[in-house]
Every structure is written in structure tokens, then in C-alpha cells.
Amino acid sequence: MKAYKIIFNTILLFTIFAAIFFFGFSDSYKLSLQAKVKYMRGEYAEARVMAKEAFDLDPYNRMAISILSQSKISAEMADYVKDGKQYLAKIDKITKKQDFSRQDRIKIKMMCEVMIGRYVKLNPTVLTDKDLYAACTQTYQNFKKIYEELFPKKVR
């Protein structure tokens, strides 16, 4: 009988706590919690939208502000990696051609310079996903290597 009381009280306490947690927060804090979950899943664009909505509802919501800024940084880094893959595919296609022209070298040079310059402008923080930043660094190293191999005099 005593075990049933403990289990019942535990479930009751958990239910009350969950109800207070769910209904006790304002809409702004609910949105910022949802944004945090999206951010942790790597869905940076969705997290940013939700954090912006939460911020609009309550500009003093520190969680919303934090997620808003972090999701912007992470989205820029994810875009960097995505663009890097696209540029590397284009470079690979160009280098496989039989007649590798001066124009092709200039195209490759421009792609490398753009990606090297963008990497320098990335601003990771302590909260930035380490794997995402590692992917950015690897992308940067790939472009730097290509640049150094094709244009050895102008090493960055």
C-alpha cells in the first residue's frame, strides 16, 4: 500500500510540475524553448525564426536573444560549408576538362579567394557546434590547399 502511495504521489507531482512548466511560461518563453530545441537539432533557420518571434513578444527574453544570435552564426557557418561543397564540385568539374584554360584558373582563383575570405569573417562562439566549426575549418583548408597548389606565389 505504501509503494502505491509513493508511485501515485510521484506521478501527481510530476504532472503538476509539467503543467506549471508548460502553462506557467509566457508565449515568448515557450517559443524560445522550442527554438532552443530546433537549434540543438541543427535546424538553424527554423530556430532563428522562432527566436525572432519570441524576441518580438518579449525583448527582455534573454534566451530568445541568445538563440537568435547563435542561430545566425550557425546558419552562416552551415551556409559556408554548403557553398564550399558546391564550389569544390565546380572546381572538380573544371579540372577534369581536357583543355584547362587561363579563364578556368581565374574562376578557380576567385572561388578560392571568396571562400578563404568568408572563413576569416566567421565568428564562432563558445556555444557554436564544434562539429560545424570543424567542417568549416576543413572546407577552408581544402580551398587554401587548392589555392596554394595553383598559385604558389600568392599564399595566404
Question: Would you put residue 58 in left (φ > 0), alpha (ψ -120 to 50) or beta?
Answer: beta
Range with lowest mean pLDDT among 12-21, 40-49, 69-78, 118-127: 12-21
Residue 20: the pLDDT is 65
pTM, full prediction: 0.75
Q: What is the DSSP string of 72-138?
A: HHHHHHHHHHHHHHHHHHHHHHHHTSSS--HHHHHHHHHHHHHHHHHHHH----TTS-HHHHHHHHH
Q: What is the pLDDT of residues 53-72, one digit of tens each?
A: 999 998 988 989 999 999 99
Q: What number of CA atoms fall less than 13 Å from residue 73's CA on the CB side? A: 18
Q: Which residue has the higher pLDDT, 116 or 10?
A: 116
Q: Which of 55, 46, 48, 49 is nearest to 27 (CA)?
A: 55
DSSP state of 155: -
What's the whole-number average pLDDT of the chain? 87
Whether the CB-CB separation of 94 and 104 falls below 8 Å is answered with yes
User: Where does the pLDDT of residue 150 fall: very low under 50, low under 70, confident under 90, or very high at 90 and above?
Assistant: confident
Q: pLDDT tens-digit profile of 74-115?
A: 999 999 999 999 999 999 999 888 887 889 889 999 999 999
